[in-house]
Amino acid sequence: MSRIGDIAAGLYKGEVSFDFVGRWRQWYIISAVLLVLSLSALFVNSLQFGVEFEGGSVLTVSSESCSVEEARDAAADALGSEMVPIVTELNSSSGRSLRIQTEALTGTQTNDVTDALADVCGVTAAADISAQVIGPSWGEQITQKALTGLVVFLVAIVIYLSVMFEWRMAVGALIALFHDVFITVGIYALVGFEVTPATVIGVLTILGYSLYDTVVVFDKVKENTKGLAGGSRMTYSEAANLAVNQSLIRSINTSVVGLLPVAALLFVGAYVLGAGTLKDLALALFVGIAVGTYSSIFIATPVVAQLKEREPAMQALSKRVAARRVSRGGSAPTIAQSAAGSDGAPNADAEGDTGSVATQPKPRPSSGPRNQPKRSKKRKRK
C-alpha cells in the first residue's frame, strides 16, 4: 500500500515519471501493429453478422432430450419447403438447448414450427421455446440508424471538445476513438463471436467510454498547461506528460473499477448463460475499456502535444525552456531529447539531472505555483 503511495506521490510530483509523450514513436508503432493485426483479423475472419442483421428466424428450444436431427426434421417438415433449417446445439450451465435458424418466417409458419418442435422435443411451446424473426430489411435499418447516430454523436463531440477545450484535443480524442473501436472490432473478429445488436451497443458504449476517459486526462492537461506559454519552466509536451503521469493512478483505478464489473459480465455471460446479449456486449466492452484507457494515455495526449508543439507560441516556449536549462544546468537538452529521454521527468529546474528518478536529495523550500513540479527531491518514508 505504502509502496503504491510512494509511487503515486512520485508520479504526482514528477519524481517518478513515465515518458508517455516523448516516446510517442514507440506507442504509435505498438498501436500501428495492433491496428494491422485487427485489419488482418478482419480479413481472415470476417465478422459473423447475426440473424438480426441478415434477416431470418431463430428458434431456441430448451430441451435435454431431442437430438439435432430430430429437431431439424421436425422443423423442415413443418415448413414443407426447400428451406433447410440450421440446427445447432448450445450447452451452458443453465441447461442444454437447440438453436434452429431458418429464413424469415411468417407468424403462421413460426407457430407451425414451434408446435412441431414442441411435439418432437416433448416440451411446452409457451414455456420452453423462444422465437425471433427478423425481416430482411430490418437489419439494414438498424445499421443505418446506428451509423446516423454515430455521425451525429461525433459531430456533437467535436463541437463540445472544441468549445470546452480546443480543436487539437478534439482531433486527439477522435484519433483515440477510432483507434479503440477499430482494435475492438478486430479482436471481436478474431474471437469469432457473432455480431448482434448487443455488439453494436457495446461498441457505442466504447465510444462514450473512450471519450470520457480521454476527457478526464485532457482536463488535467488543460489545467497544467494554463498560462504555460508565458513562462519558461517547461514545454507543452513536458507539461502534458506531467498531467498524464499525475492522472495515471486515476486512469489505472478507473479502468480496474470499470473492467471488474464487465469482467463479471463476460464471465457470467460466457460461462453461465452460454450465449446471448451479455456475452457479446461484455467482450466488446472489456476490450474497449482496456484499449480506451491505453489510448487516452498513449495516443490521445501525444497527438495533442505534437499538434500543440507546432504552434509558434509553443515553439518559442520550447526555445526559452531550452535556453533556461542551458544557462542553469550547462547541459542543453533539446526538446526532443528531453521529451524522448528515458525518464523525461519534466523538472522545472532541471539542474542537470533531467530524467533521473529523484535520487539526489536536495532540500529546497517548496515554492512556485501549485502543481508545478517542485525540485524537492526528498524521498518520503513513513
Partner 1 sequence: MNVASPATGRPGRSLLVLAVIMIALGGWMFISGNTSPQLGLDLQGGTSITLEPEVAPGEEGQITDESIDQAVNIIQQRVDGSGVVEASVSAQGSGDSAVIVVSVPGTAEGKLVEQLGQTASLAFRPVLATAPGTNVPQPAPSPEPSKTDKQGGGGNGGGNDGNNPQGNPGETAANPAVLPRLADGDGTGGNNNGGNQTAEPTPSPTPSTPDTGQTDAPITRPEQVDPKLQQQFQELDCAEDPRIGDDFNSGEAAIACDELGAFKYLLAPVAVEGANVDNAAAQIPAQGLGWVVTLDFDGDGTAAFGTTSTALAANIGEPPRDQFAIVLDGLVISAPGINEPILGGQAEISGDFTQQEATDLANVLKYGALPLSFTTAELQTVSPTLGEDQLQAGLIAGALGLVLVVVYLLLYYRALALVAVLSLVVAGLLVYGCVVLLGETLGFSLTLAGVAGLIVAIGITADSFIVYFERIRDEVREGRTMRVALEAGWTRAKRTIIAADFISLIAAVVLYVLSVGNVRGFAFTLGLTTVIDLLVVFLFTKPVVSILAKTKFFQSGSKWSGLSPERLGAKRAVGTKSTVASRRRAETEGA
Identify residues 191-220 at the interface with partner 1 (CB under 8 A): 197-198, 200-201, 204-205, 207-209, 211-213, 215-216, 219-220
Task: Provide CB contacts within 8 A for 137, sequence distance 6+.
Answer: 55
> With respect to partner 1, which residue has the nearer C-beta, 310 or 381?
381
> Residues 34, 142, 190, 307: which binds partner 1 (CB under 8 A)?
142
> With respect to partner 1, which residue has the nearer C-beta, 156 or 323?
156
272 binds partner 1 (CB under 8 A): yes
> Residues 269, 333, 346, 355: which binds partner 1 (CB under 8 A)?
269
For CA atoms 254, 286, 17, 20, the dihedral sign is negative
What residue type is assigned to position 285 of the chain? L
> Residues 265, 341, 349, 356: which binds partner 1 (CB under 8 A)?
265
Q: Rounded to the nearest 10 degrees, what angle do helices 301-309 and 24-44 cross at?
A: 130
Binders of partner 1 in range 81-140 (CB under 8 A) = 94, 106-108, 110-111, 114, 126-135, 137-138
Task: Provide CB contacts within 8 A for 73, sequence distance 6+.
Answer: 120
* 238-263 CB burial, b ≥16 within 10 A, e <16: bbbbbbbbbbbbebeebbeebbeebe
249 binds partner 1 (CB under 8 A): yes
> With respect to partner 1, which residue has the nearer C-beta, 20 or 286?
286
Binders of partner 1 in range 5-44 (CB under 8 A) = 5-6, 8-10, 12-13
Q: Residue 244 is inside which H or E element, if any?
A: helix 236-246
287 binds partner 1 (CB under 8 A): no
Distance in Å, CB of 180 to partner 1, minimum: 14
Q: Centre a 10 Å sphere on the Cβ of residue 12 and count the other Cβ atoms it contains.
A: 17
Q: DSSP 3-state assignment of 335?
A: helix
Q: Rounded to the nearest 10 degrees, what angle do helices 248-267 and 197-224 cross at?
A: 170
Binders of partner 1 in range 328-367 (CB under 8 A) = 363, 366
> Residues 4, 313, 323, 357: which binds partner 1 (CB under 8 A)?
4
